[in-house]
Structure 1
């Protein structure tokens, strides 16, 4: 033995690039922090779910697993909504939780976690409390490799607080290169089917961004003249939305999804679960005449897909292989997606008018984060994102993700991020503004305040519930709340104030820290999940 558990874990974190640590410290983690290294950065979240979401944003921006440290059972419980989002969005996180001393565990002590490895399941890829203190570094190394292997995702390790000072050997770094390619015969058969198709389509999922496969997907679309859609409720974009082949965003409702894909005889879903529904309708997944192929790195996802032919593969080599196999088609491309007309200014601010002005002012190199469910459809129709990794949201729907996700994403490369956030969503994790202010994180928040959980009300009306209790909010001055947390903020209430207010919010430099613009908007639409083609 050449040192302590703490020595070996610090070395492992350096070797794997996990030197920015997110968390909210508690008593069962204190011994880890003895002789805290000068080259490590600790990013404090004022609530555990906020710390996990910030870590997720950092992982997305750096393309590396991020380390987040939680406090025993209660802290893990607070964080599980964000862990669920990270699992669904395939974000590689190494989640460490403190645990009471091993000598106390048989007495069910204060702050002790019963069955800690079971607590975060099934929303982690790996979960363990090591049997011995000496095993902690090796278990963490294994967890890190599993987090980074496709399909990526969060892993969990519970560490008793007295383990940190125990002797342990260091763990040698070992990389796992997780790309794997499908059977060439399967790709050849798919290429032949695409060549023979009359009206092909691609459905791009978050896996395209996750695996850096956009260049290959774009070339495949252009060679086949395929229409390109984004999968329902995708946590990212994955295809340039100003491209003439881009058609829009698919709805999470069976009949509407099947109708949107009905014009195509061959559909290839790339890194997308495709059949992600939010509202039930009694309808088959696809209409007759639409043949589905599905490429994804997750064999579990391939197994539950209700229809189609699945090819288990990572995307970048598989799509690159398809590009080499398919013919350069001479078929007529689909008509381009229509750009919606700008809405005229009304007496009051509307979400659509705000998004029209945002589209004209948003720099092309900015990452756009969204968590404004009642305005998401309008945002997709009016604000186009073209760059790889340029759009982030929650692919699972657990609110409180977007505001801290933007903090972590901006910390990754210190380039300004723009986050469009709803009033209801912001209240789940508003304390992340304090962290943004403390680290002078370059994030601009455009907060659309429609006075409640408007998306829930709209869904209620969709199923015949005229009035949904518990959906009204109001009387919150978000700009003042932001300022109280150290984040500059202002508000605009009239259409004539909006251009100047947006310019002030969006033109801040990357060294100017966070800013929040509070906009009170009206006119939330009721027709959620109507397929949009422009």
Structure 2
């Protein structure tokens, strides 16, 4: 007899979801016991890490990842990570265990009120009416996750897995195609706008994804600067390209100043425009026309653009490059081209430029070591950049050092900068584990503050157990530096203490992950020189517990 469990396994195989990220509970035991050999089970010690690792896996594989959560407690623990996956537009299929269907009316122990627990962050929540509807619901969740690029949930009572599934109709297509062609006639208004622009600019966002090369070709055709969206979850344009114009500021006044020279701004794969501190006034200078290309309906519908396309950024950029005449702007770009270093070679010296996310300008200077003084995060990141392989995947979660990371560590591939677009902590450590599992031959580095790392530290056990050779570079200052500075700006005393007692290296070792304490520049360069050549092939994770001070120039 074919069971619902058998039918769901067939769906998982058909769609390539044969790796299961999970922290199991009793309502999932009927599904998980006796797994076939071709289904791989990956354990994480907390549901936030479960979803975070699956998020990294899905980014690396460019395909939905499978998550299993345990009723109310499991889904509740994972909501923050689910929100991050939604904001980062990462497809996940999440099965949530539920108590036995036959006595749910009595609300037995471990029965969950699960339909709305994750709020509006899932792209779909399905609670099948019959056990026999579960396989079709899982298949539909796969399609919904891929189409809407977010987490899709299916709630499954524990007794459903043993129910018969003989001769049932599955309410989902076996194969779903999403044609991405864009008609030239539809692009005519945008072609006319860009052709007539005096000084256009492009804003690239995380939604560019597979349109990276097409956007580069378009930018070179237009001969205009390309800015990175603020608070983006992924690089949208090579940040070592001569036309790269840095990250857009995150407040309206600076945003208007940055866009003042441009009469037309083409936003590709990003919202118009994502900011943090509220400030009155328009987003762009008077007379500046904004056009948008995105495949995210929510972004298209809420963005105050003059012209918006709900379409594939890759397809639109490719056709625009063919349709637009080459620009004659005298090589217009923010800076002259510099010689590109080979993979694994030191990066060029840092430039003098305005840092990202609305931070105040300060020159890129050599920060010489001072005896007895803590290391500066900027110097640490510069040493990392000098050794980072070109194809490295870099995951960032260090809010007080993010401007320096943007200055010194340019993303040279689409995965060269990843971050939690939601802004909540706990993304980087588990995401790095999942990414390295998905891309086992690619260097993976997580640059994380110690406060951020504590939210996802459980994932280090999974990294050690499954021999995931990622590098975790923890900038440890023993405090929430961003919060401290925000309190200072308000003119009041913060009630929260530092947490200098926390031993990041000791915590890592307790989870089976090797660690190394780094408290001097000599120790830093020695550690990086030792580990960097091994990043593509190593099978053991490593945490570098790097003691740093708080940059006195930093302003959130």
- The TM-score by the shorter chain falls in which range? over 0.9
TM-score, normalising length from structure 1?
0.95
CA–CA distance in 2 between the matches of 1:16 and 1:381?
Answer: 40
Query: Residue in 1 aligned with 2:369?
Result: 346
Coordinate RMSD, CA, aligned: 1.7
Q: Tell me the equivalent position of 2:386.
A: 360
2:358 corresponds to = none
- 1:410 maps to 436
Deviation at 1:232, TM superposition (A): 0.9
1:273 aligns with 2:271: yes
**Paired residues of 1:374 and 1:525 also in contact (CA < 8 A):** no
Whether 1:427 aligns to 2:439 is: no
Report SS of the residue matched to 2:202: strand
Contact 2:389–2:443 under 8 Å retained in 1: no
Q: List runs of 5+ in structure 2 lacking aligned partners.
A: 337-349, 353-363
Q: What residue is the counterpart of 2:328 in the other structure?
A: 330
For 1:75-94, what aligned pairs fall within 5 Å after superposition?
75-94=74-93
1:267-304 deviation digits (Å, cap 9, x = unpaired): 00001013212111112111113210011112222121
What SS class does the counterpart of residue 267 from structure 2 fall into?
strand
Q: Which residue of 1 aligns with 2:341?
A: none
Partner residue in 2 for 1:386: 412
Shift of residue 124 of structure 1? 0.8
Match for residue 55 of structure 1? Answer: 54
What are the equivalent positions in structure 2 for 1:222-237 lying under 5 Å apart?
A: 222-237=220-235
Rounded Cα–Cα distance in structure 2 between residues aligned with 1:442 and 1:428: 20
1:415-459, Cα deviation, whole Å (9 max, x unpaired): 330110000000001111000000110100110012211122223
The answer (yes or no) to whether the contact 1:5–1:167 under 8 Å persists in 2 is: yes
Name the residue aligned to 1:256: 254
Which range moves more in the overlay, 47-56 or 336-345? 336-345
Task: Name the residue aligned to 1:44.
Answer: 43
State which drifts further: 371-380 or 500-509: 500-509
Alignment of 1:35-434 (within 5 A): 35-114=34-113, 116-149=114-147, 151-168=148-165, 169=168, 171=170, 174-182=174-182, 184-209=184-209, 212-332=210-330, 333-336=332-335, 339-340=351-352, 341-347=364-370, 348-414=374-440, 415-434=442-461
Contact kept in structure 2, 1:489 and 1:516, CA below 8 Å: yes
> Once structures 1 and 2 are overlaid, which stretch shifts more, 471-480 or 117-126?
471-480
Answer yes or no: is the 8 Å Cα contact 2:400–2:554 preserved in 1: no
Aligned twin of 1:532: none
Indicate the residue corresponding to 1:445 in structure 2: 472
In the TM superposition, residue 527 of structure 1 has moved relative to its aligned partner by 4.4
1:99/1:113 contact within 8 Å kept: yes
Q: Does 1:461 align with 2:471?
A: no
Q: Contact conserved, 1:203 with 1:274, CA < 8 A, in 2?
A: no
Paired with 1:85 and 1:452, the residues of 2 have a C-alpha distance of: 23
Instruction: Tell me how far apart the structure 1 counterparts of residues 125 and 93 of structure 2 sit (CA, whole Å).
Output: 10
Would you say the 8 A contact 1:11–1:170 is kept in 2? no
* 8 Å contact from structure 1 (residues 100, 161) kept in 2: yes
CA contact (8 A) 2:430 2:459 kept: yes
CA–CA separation in structure 2 for the residues paired with 1:519 and 1:192: 53
Contact kept, 8 Å, 1:285 with 1:307, in 2: the verdict is no
The CA deviation at 1:183 is 5.5
Q: 1:525 to 1:266 in 2, by over 3 A?
A: farther
2:333 & 2:390 partners in 1: Cα distance?
26
Moved more, 24-33 or 246-255: 246-255
Deviation at 1:311, TM superposition (A): 1.3
Is 2:381–2:408's contact at 8 Å kept on the other side of the alignment?
yes
Unaligned runs of 5+ in 1: 530-534
CA distance in 1, matches of 2:272, 2:305: 11
- Normalised TM-score (structure 2): 0.91
- How many residue pairs get aligned? The number is 523
Partner of 2:394, secondary structure, is strand
The Cα of 1:225 is off from its aligned counterpart by 0.5
CA offset at residue 197 of structure 1?
1.1
Distance 2:438 2:408 in 1: 27
Aligned mates of 1:66, 1:173 — CA distance in 2: 19
Q: Secondary structure at the match of 1:434?
A: helix
